[in-house]
Structure 1
Amino acid sequence: MIRRESKNRLKKPFRISSLIIISIILQLNIGCESKKETTYKFKDPKLSINERVTDLIGHMTLSEKVSQMRYDAPAIERLGVPAYNWWNECLHGVARAGEATVFPQAIGMGATWNAPLLFEVGTVISDEARAKHHRFIKEDKRGIYQGLTFWTPNINIFRDPRWGRGQETYGEDPYLTGRMGVNFIKGLQGDDSKYLKVVATAKHFAVHSGPEKSRHEDNYHTSDKDLKETYLPAFEAAIKEANVQSVMCAYNRYRDEACCGSNLLLNDILRKEWGFDGYVVSDCWAINDFWEPNKHELVETPAEASALAVSRGTDLNCGDVYDPNLGDAVLKGLVDEDKVDRALSRLMEARFKLGMFDPEEMVSWSKIPYDVVCSDAHYKLSEKTARESMVLLKNEGKLLPLKKDLKSIAVIGPNANAKQVLLGNYHGTPFNNITPLKAITEKLPNTTVHYAKGSHIAKGWPLLQPIPSSVLRNGENVGLKGEYFDNETWEGEPKLTRSDSIVDFIWVSKKPIEINTSDSFSVRWTGKIVPEESGSYRIGLRASSAGKLYVDDSLRVDFEDDHEPKMKYLDMRLEAGKSYDIKIKYYNYHTDPQAQLLWSKLDEDLLSPALEAVKKSEVVVLCLGLSPDIEGEEMPVVLEGFDKGDRSEISLPQSQLTLLKEVQALGKPTILVLMNGSALAINWADENIPAILEAWYPGEFGGRAIADVLFGDYNPAGRLPVTFYKSVDDLPDFKSYDMTNRTYKYFKGDPLYEFGHGLSYTSFEYSKLEVPDTIKEDENIPVAVQITNTGDMKGDEVVQLYVSHDKKQYKDGPKHSLIGFKRINLEVGETKKVSFTVTPKQYAIINSAGREQKVSGAVQIYVGGKQPDENDDSDTATTKHLNKIITLN
């Protein structure tokens, strides 16, 4: 979601056009209504939701209806309708709403291949969400990130590793994505027969996975086969199986229609074909793209855009287009008011289902105590999830697990001690930030740990650290003078004045000053920087809402709110001993205040200290990869290999590759740990580094999970949810949504690491495959297999079930398709039987017309611990694949 609104735009008065004023005058019944709340039928919990919604809307004027269709809906005081902000995030933990348990990024959760675990994660997140919401209500806080309607999960298909937002998804496979998404949604929405726990939102509907920089203008086309086989199944499962209550439409066009104004997607498929009865929310300011220059330009005015979106089925606007333009559109005859009523009915139904108009004591979810937030049980689940997300890509010579009696170890790399890399994007604010360096140091108290960054994350993108107190001055004091105000404009006398040694604040559970019902406050820091060394520096300001950075009275960094912490920076030369005036003006009006003044010396030699650390050590753990600061959603970042949040190359950044080669040349046993949100072409590492662990963005306990795997306290069993390719040259054009030569199903080349790949410290053997020889065309296929742990360490195995069809008969079909998986735990020598039931829908094919077609002749079933190699039935390092051809009568 793009976030363009400034503070002033968000806070501006609710506008009423002259046409709506006329509408209000024509509805003089306002004055005739009783002000006694008890007279309103919608207040009566004994009535059906439909009756209550109809009654409530019947009391509203047109302008009031329109006001409730924007994400920041104002109160209707005369009706006793409180303000409500629909915007909330919880991709891998409640985000931007104070302290929260932070789980691994979604792509890491996808790598667990553990659907029931995702249900547990969703349950924990919704527990924390409910507890937070009811505390906010008690404090009379009803702002952004304080409600119960969450814009997650992202179940788009990660079809191309260049997409910066692929980290938010569960991977490239529709079946895996569907299973993970369904379980996560069920955990979020709860199982109460009357009240929803929270509302989940399946996004972004549909055919949406980059590029980021052109998403507001792109028009994608696919075959009917690709649409129904790849891009829609996860959404269909979310609606039909998980009963997801909300769907977010995407920015792009699909087949010439804007997704938020698509009759095909929102009416024909979503509502008519699938029977969706929830509400549709636009991606943020997506409806502006309908008319703004150099975007979709489907209509000429905001009123026409509003009419088009509502008439096609977009009920809620993340943005401010509907208000007041939708009212104007009704009065101009561009859209019927009954379509406004239809949309508003869906929205109000969700609020009633959440219990927002009933006494709190009637809503079971309101009884969740606040002390569940960041509780030990939740922390344990986050750590468990991080462990299960670890994918061992390579372990040549069984270098891993390492012994704990090492005398010395080198922990090297830009990601070895970087807190942001634990979190990915759309994250909450954790109490814990356990990096690999911290975890390894804790695990080896008797070992000398040598640490060095070794390189920047990429050329031109250094890792910034807080500017230390040793170079900050305010008068005779060390640090900067901080003046704290209980408003957003630095006005009046500060509530608090103090000297802050550094500016490195993430206020989690308590604001720096006492404020009442608002979370708004501002800070002004002033002082001087007196650097100890001359050189070229990057100075950055990271802030949660907005801020300004002045150097020598010149405004050098200025950014307004985009609803999540972000950083801007300037590059300048500083001379040792010279004094530079610094002023920061920061304000916050959300619930996760954060302000950091950071820097890095651009011409610093990082490589030499790293090589010295390696020379002094027995073993090297090299933490490389990417960062959510350079891969993500529509970013301003343009670096070599990166493009506005996406990547133009999929190899490791050159600065890290140089470090990798220099370290390897010293001949020490080296383990490469990757922390990233998307696949990397680590070809040189695969050829030259004996052990490689993929750790993703692993959450607040990620470093501990990494250390547990490295030292054998946990046996890794994660599997890749995406294909790791060898080069961007192996990929089709990024903007092509044709599935030809994409993902494991259709890729024609030789992958570096295949979808489903992942090693273990033990070995497993498959035996006694039970599958019928023949079945009727409409029958289920029962599948059973036995798995034995034949190694010397207990561990998990991910049993994967694939189907393939006769290539001569179905030439355009996939090589094979995942149709089942189960993660099981086996003690040494233990055998377990795993069973699947394959439905006709699962072994059917999608034909060129996009229709499900019965299969004739035969199908082949594969079961094992990895993706089938159809040319090799031999043993692998950990598994043996079994397969059987089944004749269909």
Structure 2
Amino acid sequence: MAKFYFLLCSILVLFAISEARNAPSIATINDSPSNLTKIYTKICDPQRFNDLGLDMDDFSYCDSSLSYGVRVKDLIDRMTLTEKVQQIGDTAYGVPRIGLAKYEWWSEALHGVSNVGQWNSKATFFDDIVPGATSFPCPITTTASFNQTLWKTIGQAVSNEARAMYNLGHAGLTFWSPNINVVRDPRWGRTIETPGEDPFVVGTYAANYVRGLQDVEGHESTDDPNSRPIKVAACCKHYAAYDVDSWLGVDRTSYDALVTEQDMLETFQKPFEMCVKEGDVMSVMCSYNNINGIPACADRKLLKDTLRGEWDLHGYIVSDCLDLDCGNYFTNYADKAVIQGKISEKDIDEALKNLYIVLMRLGFFDGSSKYESLGKQDVCSDENIELATQAAREGMVLLKNINGTLPLNAEEIKTIAVVGPHANATTAMIGNYAGIPCKYTSPLDGFSKYAEVKYATGCADVMCKNASLIFPAMQAAKNAHATVIVAGIDLSIEAESRDRIDLLLPGYQAQLITQVAQVAKGPVILVIMSGGGVDISFARDSDNVKGIVWAGYPGEEGGRAIADVIFGKHNPGGRLPLTWHEGSYVDMLPMTSMSLRPVDSLGYPGRTYKFFNGSTVFPFGSGLSYTTFAYSLTSADKNLNIQLNKFQHCRDLNYTDDTFKPPCPAILTSDLQCDDNNLVFEVKVSNTGTVDGSEVVMVYWVPPKGIVEGPIKQVIGFQKVFLPAGGSQKVKFQLNACKSFGLVNYRGYHLLPSGGHSIMIGDNLLSFAVGVKFQLA
């Protein structure tokens, strides 16, 4: 086993995989082994070299008139083999004799600058100088807003705080975020970190958040991507087919994900392709697991052929924790591997080149005048705290509202009972991979701004192992004009290394909700905090529960956002980014079945809204509003006729027996000239109610009837629009038919089928047919 892992690490270096999972990033430039006390924010500072007893003019890697490639080669050529391997682990120790500073690679910024994860280093930390950073809602909550502008804006705010902390010596420049794995199974403990179950939505979130973190204004693109300056370096993880952590004895470090080529291309790799191609991410982290018998971090096809080759990654690859490649394994053994002939020194040179070009683009060597003024005043600013609040509001999803009970009227509701295990939530609201927030506004704090609060916890914690506290909660509800029950789960139920066994509320929570709702004096509203879905069908179907709101994990200002939604200061417009399954779903198939499509031979149902056709608690895309919306189609391309030449050949597709098969079923998309504007339509959205509100215009593709490989439906576009009461707006979609109507067959070919395709807006509020016809030469 030890030889296997040693070989694995050698392969990682061969592919220019820079660091171990511990390969994050430190903050400013700290020059041990000298006794310097000054913090430098760039390596190539003449005074810094002078303090080291060196002349900066003697080192060409500090000559900013040269290209990054030339400078990095000069830097690497000055190192001995031992010095080189000291730079490819968790801590890059630097080379004081040539002026190269130490650097810690691991920082996190999943939904705000975080101090989580640094086992032996302090790349990012908080103290009296920087006591905290803005904690935005967890990604699953932010995704529910379906607001692409918001996603990018949060990335920009987080990177502002990151650069400010870097200037203060409290953070690095390389951040291992975001997590863009698709949620294939509702039991996955890391659902909280992700953008949900749809590959297109996940990839769109990734591209926007990464652009927010990385892009320097005015330098969003360039003819030479390896010279484009970047603000901070993001990392899309975990590549790929990773969504099992610890389930009934199955562990992520040894799990072998058996995946078809169809599912790999269509689902598991899609977000990473978008992250690299559209987001131009600086780093990709390969995942813990094996894929079809090969460790993901040692898969040549996955890493070198696809990631670096086909997708053209401009950055570095980092391995996730495989135990032996965490910490200082590379730094301890890579030089011995070279001496033994298992790898070559030029492979290490290539890894160093990828790493140090990224650091040069970040300004680690030359500084960044654009961001040098950022400081303590830019961390936890009023603007960022308000942005976190707005993100939480937009991520709230209204799932039930009997007879327009919500919003509550503050003029009528003088007293409100706030009960449940999350009624006074603070740390639970910020989820995982979180730092120290600027402050907390709990639900109790939020509701106290609107009414006199009567508080009773109802449960000691989310586990709710006994019913002794339910009665005081019932008493509070009996004596209040309205009751809000804040229930759900937390990191003790779902988290990294902690997959769920069931989809139910734990302990006596269901009893708490039922009994409080039975005796309450006024309307009862249930608020659920969770990442993954929870089977609350009992509350959905109860006449005593008038409204249900999903709050996800709403970040540091979550309590204020919840109260603002309940009392109508904000009209909720969020949508569920994943399916909420019934509790019986977990008995239908094991978590380890990787197939997205149903496995008829075993009786397994399909996964995600794309392939599951059974009953649910709430389907993907669910979300109500305090107003109503109407759609009308104003213009559309309803036919796409493609003239084929002699080099474009028809491809077969599998159809159900009762379906007519076209003479030319499909064409390889790579053989077609599809542009981004060959499928255009416009929808008029009208707010037909009496309340201002936002609407997510969700566009689905439904493939031609009878194609066996096709999904039930699939998101191909979405836009969020704000409309005043009585207002309307035209929303235009310009799509690429090869991407939007394309599918991957079981052999791994990307095909555009012919026949009658359908475009469906929302939950079938509007639909129209688009005919695709191939005209043979």
Distance 1:413 1:719 in 2: 24
Q: 776-785 or 153-162: which moved more?
A: 776-785
Q: How does 1:361-760 map to 2 (within 5 A)?
A: 362-404=368-410, 405-444=412-451, 447=452, 449-459=453-463, 605-634=468-497, 645-668=498-521, 669-688=523-542, 689-729=545-585, 731-740=588-597, 741-760=606-625
- 1:488-524 C-alpha deviation (Å, 9 max, x unpaired): xxxxxxxxxxxxxxxxxxxxxxxxxxxxxxxxxxxxx
Aligned counterparts of 1:728 and 1:233: Cα–Cα separation in 2: 29
Pairing partner for 2:352 from 327, 333, 344:
344
Query: How much is the aligned-residue C-alpha RMSD, in angstroms?
Result: 2.1
1:68-121 Cα distance to aligned partner (Å, 9 max, x none): 001211131101111100000110001123311111001001101011111100
State how far apart, in whole Å, the 2-side matches of 1:181 and 1:775 are. Answer: 31
Question: Equivalent of 2:747, from 846, 849, 861?
Answer: 849
Counterpart in 2 of 1:47? 66
> Which residue matches 1:57?
76
Q: Is the contact between residue 37 and residue 79 of structure 1 (CA under 8 Å) also seen in structure 2?
A: no
Q: Alignment partner of 1:647: what SS?
A: coil
Q: Per-residue deviation at 1:318?
A: 4.4
Deviations along 1:708-728, whole A, 9 cap, x unmatched? 110111100000000011124
Structure 1 distance, partners of 2:362, 2:584, is 46
1:670 shift after superposition: 0.8
Q: Distance in 1 between matches of 2:705 and 2:748?
A: 18
- Residues of 2 paired with 1:632 and 1:4: CA distance? 22
Q: 2:371 aligns to what SS in structure 1?
A: helix
**Residue 797, structure 1, aligned to residue 650, structure 2:** no
Cα 1:653–1:287 change in 2 (3 A) is closer
Partner residue in 2 for 1:335: 343
The structural deviation recorded for 1:626 is 0.6
- Paired with 1:3 and 1:436, the residues of 2 have a C-alpha distance of 36
Are 1:200 and 2:234 counterparts? yes
Aligned to 1:120: 153
2:759 partner letter: I
Q: Are the equivalent residues in 2 in contact too, given 1:114–1:180 (CA < 8 A)?
A: no
Structure 1 distance, partners of 2:286, 2:697, is 34
1:82 maps to what in 2?
A: 101
Q: Give the partner amino acid of 2:442.
A: T
Q: Give the 5 Å matches for 1:2-151.
A: 35-96=54-115, 97-98=125-126, 99-136=132-169, 146-151=171-176
**Contact 1:458 / 1:655 at 8 angstroms: preserved in 2?**
no
5+ residue gaps, structure 2, are 1-19, 25-31, 34-52, 116-124, 127-131, 220-227, 598-605, 643-672
Whole-Å Cα distance in 2 between the matches of residues 406 and 159 of structure 1?
42
Q: Percent identity?
A: 38
CA distance in 2, matches of 1:153, 1:450: 39
How much does 1:772 deviate?
2.0
Q: Distance in 1 between matches of 2:618 and 2:351?
A: 46
Letter in 1 for 2:431: G
Q: CA-to-partner distance for each residue in 1:379-427, whole Å, 9 max, x for gaps?
A: 1111111110000001011111111132321100000102112101011
Matched-pair contact (CA < 8 Å) for 1:103–1:699: yes
Cα offset, 1:186, TM superposition: 0.4
8 Å Cα contact 1:456/1:655 also seen in 2: no
* Structure 2 CA distance for aligned equivalents of residues 745 and 44 of structure 1: 54
2:628 pairs with one of 763, 767, 781? 763
**Post-superposition CA distance 1:123-146 (Å, at most 9, x none):** 00000000100111xxxx6xxxx2
Corresponding residue for residue 599 of structure 1: none
Q: What is the DSSP-based 3-state SS (H/G/I as helix, E as strand, rest coil) of the residue aligned with 2:697? A: strand
In 2: Cα distance, 1:110 partner to 1:692 partner = 19
1:216 shift after superposition: 0.7
1:816 partner amino acid = K
Partner amino acid for 2:639?
T
Compute the TM-score of the two structures, normalised by the length of structure 2: 0.82
TM superposition shift of 1:622: 0.2
Output one character per residue of 1:683-722: Cα deviation in whole Å (capped at 9) or x when no partner. Answer: 1111112210000110111111110110111100000000
Counterparts of 1:277 and 1:708 in 2: how far apart (Å)?
A: 43
- With structure 1 as the length reference, what TM-score do the two structures score? 0.72
Residue 2 of structure 1, CA deviation: 8.1
What is the aligned counterpart of 2:711 among 814, 837, 845? 814
Residue identity matched to 1:646: D
3-state DSSP class of the match of 1:782? strand
> CA 1:765–1:773 in structure 2 vs 1: closer, same or farther (change >3 Å)?
same
1:538 alignment counterpart: none
CA distance in 2, matches of 1:272, 1:62: 28
> Quick one: which amino acid aligns to residue 396 of structure 1?
I
- Matched to 2:197, the amino acid is E
2:183 counterpart of 1:158: yes
More strand by share: 1
**Deviation string for 1:221-276 (max 9, x for gaps)?**
11111111111111001111111010011110111111111112111211122111
Partner SS for 2:617: coil
- 1:365 CA drift (Å): 2.4
CA contact 1:457–1:627 (8 Å) conserved in 2: no
Q: Report the secondary structure of 1:162's partner residue.
A: coil
Residue type of the alignment partner of 2:629: F
In 1, are the aligned partners of 2:407 and 2:565 still within 8 Å (CA)? yes
CA contact (8 A) 1:771 1:784 kept: yes
Equivalent position amino acid for 2:630 in 1: E
CA contact (8 A) 2:702 2:712 kept: yes
The worse-fitting range, judged by mean Cα deviation, of 604-613 and 674-683 is 604-613
Distance in 2 between residues matched to 1:174 and 1:769, nearest whole Å: 29
Report how far residue 57 of structure 1 moved.
Answer: 0.4
Question: What one-letter code is carried by the residue in structure 2 that aligns with 1:333?
Answer: G
* Letter matched to residue 211 of structure 1: D
Over 3 Å counting, the alpha-carbon distance change for 1:458 and 1:794 in structure 2 is closer
Pair 1:784-2:682 in alignment: yes
* Helix, strand or coil at the partner of 2:162: helix
Partner SS state of residue 836, structure 1: strand
Amino acid at match of 1:765: A
CA-CA distance at 1:3 after TM superposition:
8.1
Shift of 1:60: 0.5
SS at match of 1:761: coil
Query: Aligned partners of 2:728 and 2:639: how far apart in 1?
Result: 27
Q: Deviations over 1:769-815 (max 9, x none)?
A: 4222311245511011101100000000000111111231x212101
* 1:325 has 2:223 as partner: no
Deviation per CA, 1:526-585: give whole Å up to 9, x if none.
xxxxxxxxxxxxxxxxxxxxxxxxxxxxxxxxxxxxxxxxxxxxxxxxxxxxxxxxxxxx
Per the alignment, do residues 62 and 287 of structure 1 end up closer, same or farther by CA in structure 2, a change over 3 Å counting? farther
- Alignment match, 2:766: 881
Specify which of 267, 281, 296 is matched with residue 230 of structure 1. Answer: 267
